[in-house]
């Protein structure tokens, strides 16, 4: 499964093969499904509600890409996925703090992928608020300025904030040596952990 496969941001296109792609919205830098989808696979975008896809439970929680009622950048889907006894949540291109109703719809999660860049999406402060409200066991920061100029039409001057602003003052931060990590129900940390992947 892949979330929001990207293109056009001066990073190599994702290299993977998956049966399911979940796209949070229709912007070109978040719905490059063709780069990763196997022949005969399934792409989902903006369905809102619950579905079972190839035996995997997927929930789409309706949110917005901006803090102006969607008038600037439109809609966004937050996805939760139940897989191997764990619940994963990907915030897509969330542009606002979540409401109590949205948090309830998201429910209890184990692993949260959160934006931290600011600009067209939530920044470090709002991301921290979302993390506090959802209280996952593992937090994976994403969607931040890696030190290269972006070429996406949505971020012509790159994302304004790096990840260090989000990490400032936080404890239990693990800086992974690679671009992946393994998590099982048995090895979930007892205390919330932030895992920084290497780009």
d(CA 136, CA 33): 27
pLDDT number for residue 152: 43
Do residues 30 and 120 touch, judged by C-beta distance below 8 A? no
Question: In which element (H, E) is residue 62 found?
Answer: strand 56-64
Q: What is the pLDDT at residue 149? A: 44
The pLDDT value given to residue 30: 61
What is the model's pLDDT at position 35? 65
Domain spans, the chain: 50-196
Per-residue pLDDT tens digits for 8-24: 555 566 677 788 888 88
| Residue 145 · residue 124 · CB < 8 Å | no
Pick the closest to residue 131 from 142, 145, 120, 144 (CA basis).
142
Q: What is the pLDDT of residue 80?
A: 97
pLDDT score for 160: 63
Rg (CA), the chain: 16
pLDDT at 10: 56
What number of helices (H) and strands (E) belong to the chain? Answer: 3, 11
Q: Measure the CA–CA gap between 151 and 85, rounded to whole angstroms.
A: 38
Phi and psi at residue 131, to the nearest 5°: -60, -45
Instruction: Name which CATH class applies to 50-196.
Output: alpha beta
Q: Look up the pTM and report it.
A: 0.85
Cα–Cα dist 144/121, whole Å: 10
pLDDT 10s digits, 95-135? 999 999 999 999 999 999 999 988 778 989 999 999 999 99
Low-confidence ranges of the chain (pLDDT < 50): 148-156
Q: How far is CA 116 from CA 8, 105, 170, in A?
A: 19, 22, 14
């Amino acid at each position: 499964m892949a979330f929001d496969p990207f293109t056009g941001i001066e990073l190599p296109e994702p290299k993977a093969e998956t049966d399911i792609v979940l796209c949070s919205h229709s912007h070109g830098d978040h719905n490059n499904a063709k780069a990763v989808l196997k022949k005969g696979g399934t792409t989902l975008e903006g369905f809102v509600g619950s579905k079972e896809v190839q035996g995997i439970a997927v929930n789409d929680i309706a949110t917005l890409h901006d803090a102006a009622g969607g008038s600037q950048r439109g809609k966004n889907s937050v996805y939760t996925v139940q897989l191997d006894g764990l619940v994963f949540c990907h915030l897509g291109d969330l542009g606002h703090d979540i409401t109590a109703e949205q948090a309830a719809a998201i429910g209890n999660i184990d692993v949260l992928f959160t934006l931290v860049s600011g600009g067209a999406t939530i920044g470090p402060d709002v991301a921290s608020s979302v993390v506090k409200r959802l209280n996952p066991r593992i937090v994976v920061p994403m969607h931040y300025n890696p030190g290269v100029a972006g070429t996406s039409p949505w971020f012509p001057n790159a994302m304004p904030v790096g990840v260090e602003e989000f990490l400032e003052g936080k404890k239990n931060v693990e800086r992974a040596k690679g671009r992946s990590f393994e998590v099982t129900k048995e090895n979930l940390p007892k205390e919330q952990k932030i895992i920084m992947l290497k780009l």
